Amino acid sequence: MLSVIVLCGFAEPVRPDAVVRTLVPLVAASVRGLVRDVILAGPQDAELGVIAEHAGCAAFESATEAAALRDAIAAARSADLMILIAGHVPQAGFFEEIEDLLNMRGSADQSGRVLKTAPVTFYERICPALAPVVGIIASQSRCAKIKIESFQQLRRAVDARKSLRARLQSIMGRPN
């Protein structure tokens, strides 16, 4: 099972509806037994507590991205984490691939992965590896040992090099 941390509004402002739309697919994954808990992490003025109360999840608001991530990682109830930037929803087959990964390999300690967006720009379509990273799957113990400064620094420190085949679709819109 995974603890999912949804990172909201540090890199760029995120609309409340984008946070909610990111949470919706996690309900089905929770029903399937893949997601144990969900934690929202964001800036102090994001009012994530209201969304968390309605969604039945936890929220950590902090002045810095590093502090919010540290608090959320410490509060996670599963040994495996999926950290995801708000404003992205999974494409078909996303959770099936994660389930296969966790069943086949056991813990994310051996099978950390990066989560990328679906190719949008011309260059990303030609070379899908250029698509932005918007999440990671890694073990909680591994993430907790890292001195976190930001999501991007955590992503590099976890050193998950392989990406899932299934991608995340941006609901915030990016230029073509």
- The CATH number of residue 41's host domain is 3.90.550.10
Kindly state whether residue 87 falls inside one of the protein's structural domains. Answer: yes
Domain membership of residue 164 (yes or no) is yes
Domain count, the chain: 1
Q: Which residues neighbour 106 within 8 Å (Cβ) at sequence distance 6 or greater?
A: none
Q: Is a pLDDT exceeding 60 seen at residue 174?
A: no
Position 175 in a domain: no
Please indicate, yes or no, if residue 166 is contained in any of the structural domains. yes
Query: Pick from 44, 19, 36, 134: which is nearest to 79 by CA?
Result: 36
Kindly state whether residue 176 falls inside one of the protein's structural domains.
no
Domain span at residue 50 reads: 2-170
Residue 92 in domain: yes
Burial of 104 (C-beta count, 10 Å sphere; 0-12/13-18/19+): exposed
The Cα 113–Cα 1 span in angstroms is 15
pTM for the whole thing? 0.92
pLDDT digits (tens, 9 = 90+) for 11-35: 888 899 999 999 999 988 998 899 9
Mean pLDDT of 68-90: 95
Task: Identify the band that residue 4 occupies on the pLDDT scale cut at 50, 70 and 90.
Answer: very high
